[in-house]
Chain A
Amino acid sequence: MIFEYAPAPESREVVDIRPSYGLFINGEFVDGSGTPFKTVNPASEETLAEVATATEADVDRAVQAARKAFGVWSALPGSERAKYLFRIARIIQERARELAVLESLDNGKPIKESRDVDLPLVAAHFFYYAGWADKLQYAGYGTTPLGVAGQVIPWNFPLLMLAWKIAPALACGNTVVLKPAETTPLTALLFAEICQQADLPPGVVNIVTGAGDTGAAVVGHPDVDKVAFTGSTEVGRLIARAVAGTTKKVTLELGGKAANIVFDDAAIDQAVEGIVTGIFFNQGHVCCAGSRLLVQESVAEELLSSLKRRLSTLRLGDPLDKNTDIGAINSAAQLAKIRELSEAGEAEGASRWSPACALPEKGFWFPPTVFTGVSQSHRIAREEIFGPVLSVLTFRTPAEAVEKANNTPYGLSAGVWTEKASRMLWMANRLRAGVVWSNTFNKFDPTSPFGGYKESGYGREGGRHGLEAYLKEIS
């Protein structure tokens, strides 16, 4: 019997999108001096709103506002700063549905993810760092804030990356100028409203929108004490260059090409789920995505047939439908990049497979895709695709698995699937990755530090360790 799920769309009426948005500077929305840009719904290509572009002068105003607010904010007792952060966290929970719908509209991710993953984590981050604000002396990194933090975030988890950046910065007594990605500025601007609602002192949080030039202005501003960036390794390099020779403190959270390693004694059904979560969560727009499946050759065939069957049940389509598993690719540019690398995969001799999957006519879409017969020397095994594309490689022994997993310029995350605890620990000790997930993948928690080795960046975000990036070193 065919059991067809009827459409179950979340209502977009819960969110009020304004036709145009300004910059959020010194507690107020102001016009930008640059040419405004449009942000579109990637699932339909419809324009959602027009958003201001911050020029260098606008960024300067924002930094000045942040500098002025720093005096007030850093002088508050930690317990007072905590009150604001707790208040923000609670408002986020109260307005979670609105934020989730807006996130899905602007980003293209399925509502079940923005509702069940992004928003709960966003609130959890603010709650968690609110708790640290009056306990900094116990964290071991001193208690002196740095000053003004310039923060540039990506489009894959717009609001969650904002939370990762703003919550620890504010808890430590810093003020921020944050630039959201140009394709996903809307939830950051709604967050600005939440700052107003929470009566946050003006200038503590400033949001400047725009493209790369705006980001460069934030990073390059001489009165910025700290730069925090999440995004591509390419831009990370530019930033590292820009701040070299200055006193700015920097954390970079960049790309990844994580190995998800499945041993022959793994819990196969759960490993299949972990592979799906690893690479198809958020359309694979995840820096720590498990984009390389390393499977022990003895179970490769069995695992792949289970995986293919499972992928056939994935539901691709309207991000606002509560039953959608795979949403839209965030932008035309990203779609072009995914296509280019997938074509390279085929050209290099890997075999490509996707489940039968109708793609909507409008919008940016890419079907879940698996490449088998991939070698370490293929581009799709080396380069970050940042899309729903899995490269499958095989290995014979634990040592070979480690060797292949580590043989990448990146080192953000890894996953290991085995029922044998001693092997799990042996692997975890040898994998050069910031996060090693044991019999799970893409699990996040505000208490857990996150960050990379090698070209995946430096510094840690989250947990007690995340405070270090926003406090002056103890001399």
Chain B
Amino acid sequence: MSIPTASSNASLRAFLHGLPGVDRVGADARAAGLGTRSIKTTAKRQAIDLAISMVDLTTLEGADTRGKVRAMCAKAVHPDPTDPTVPKVAAVCVYPDLVAEARDVVGSSGVKVASVATAFPSGRSSLEVKVADTAMAVAAGADEIDMVIDRGAFLSGDYVKVFEEIQAIKAACGEAHLKVILETGELATYDNVRRASWLAMLAGGDFIKTSTGKVQPAATLPVTLVMLEAVRDFRDREGRMVGVKPAGGIRTTKDAIKMLVLVNETAGPDWLDPDWFRLGASSVLNDLLMQRQKLTTGRYAGPDYFTLD
């Protein structure tokens, strides 16, 4: 099957609906099966450090303030002030108006600044507004843009609209990396998740991301599995690697490790890198730190030994 030109909904539809279907029962069973992998001792240690280095530490609340963002960014650079061997996280993720604040704190630490954009989380605005939103975040110093797709357009079959919007936002990103949020909880079927993944990749997304975190279900294991299969197949066909970011609902070290197992055995070890896999989360970081310390000391410290930011 040749890659379509995005000239018409008919050609995009023919391509996307020509992709192999996803059997829900089978996909759920495979994800659950991988979820039973037992990651212990040295492997757990490796997985925890890798997971920390993949976290996109996120705050996306109406109540966010400069103070809140600064505190979170400080934590992103030094997740555990008592232990310098803890890696820094991959990025912080904030609303566009707080990008400059985040940029200021993370500086040249290597922690990236990601900003949501495009009328996040609903995506219900005009393309002009979405482009302006993106441009504003990039101008303020964002390294990465997390855009949302127009789910209404997708569900009504207007694939061209979704495609062109992603292209336009990609253009507005300039040097910044583009993560495309599919909001899989609203797409409902795994077939749709696979199609939306391909649409986002064809349109030029650098990453595909499950969710805004504002809709349930968010980053489930089977949805992440389907997206990992999509990036794997896309590289086979197009030769370009696209990253994956599950976001929302990843709360424990166990959740995070299951995700890494999924990456390892689906897309493969090439994706086991913060450049290609991210965990959109906030509370998981302290659990990772707690488990890490437990592996080192053999004891669990109380929650007050980990900072709340």
Contact surface of A with B, Cβ cutoff 8 Å: 1-8, 112, 116, 265-270, 273-274, 313, 322-323, 419, 439-440
Chain B residues numbered 221-275 whose CB sits less than 8 Å from any CB in chain A: 229, 260-261, 264-265, 269, 272-273
Given contact pairs A6-B41, A269-B20, enumerate 11 new A-B contacts (beta carbons under 8 Å): A1-B272, A3-B260, A5-B37, A267-B23, A269-B22, A269-B27, A270-B25, A273-B26, A419-B23, A439-B26, A440-B26
Q: Which residue of A lies closest to B265 (CB)?
A: A313
Chain B residues numbered 144-182 whose CB sits less than 8 Å from any CB in chain A: none
Q: Are B26 and A274 interface neighbours, CB within 8 A?
A: yes
Task: Write the B2-46 contact mask toward A (1 if CB under 8 angstroms, else 0).
Answer: 000000000000000000111101110110000011111111101
15 A-B contact pairs sorted by A residue (CB < 8 Å): A3-B43, A3-B50, A3-B261, A3-B272, A6-B40, A6-B43, A8-B38, A266-B20, A267-B23, A270-B30, A274-B26, A323-B38, A439-B23, A439-B25, A440-B26
CA distance A1 to B25 in the complex (A): 31
CA distance A268 to B50 in the complex (A): 31
Other-chain contact of A6, B44, B229, B265 (Cβ < 8 Å): B44
CA distance A4 to B47 in the complex (A): 10
CA distance A25 to B46 in the complex (A): 54
Residues on the B chain within 8 Å of A116, using CB: 36
CA distance A5 to B36 in the complex (A): 13
Residues on the B chain within 8 Å of A8, using CB: 38-40
Minimal beta-carbon separation of B50 from chain A (angstroms): 7
Contact surface of B with A, Cβ cutoff 8 Å: 20-23, 25-27, 29-30, 36-44, 46-47, 50, 229, 260-261, 264-265, 269, 272-273
Residues on the B chain within 8 Å of A266, using CB: 20-21
Residues on the A chain within 8 Å of B27, using CB: 269-270
Interface SS of B by simple majority: helix
CA distance A395 to B265 in the complex (A): 30
Q: Which residue of A lies closest to B32 (CB)?
A: A116
Residues A270 and B22 in contact in the complex (CB < 8 Å), given A3-B264, A3-B272, A6-B42: yes
Minimal beta-carbon separation of B236 from chain A (angstroms): 9
Residues on the A chain within 8 Å of B26, using CB: 267, 269-270, 273-274, 439-440
Residues on the B chain within 8 Å of A112, using CB: 36
Residues on the A chain within 8 Å of B265, using CB: 313
CA distance A439 to B29 in the complex (A): 12
Minimal beta-carbon separation of A451 from chain B (angstroms): 24
Other-chain contact of B229, A269, A322, A419 (Cβ < 8 Å): A269
CA distance A440 to B24 in the complex (A): 11
Q: Are A3 and B25 interface neighbours, CB within 8 A?
A: no
Minimal beta-carbon separation of B30 from chain A (angstroms): 5
Q: Find the residue from A1, A269, A322, A419 having the highest chain B CB count within 10 A.
A: A269
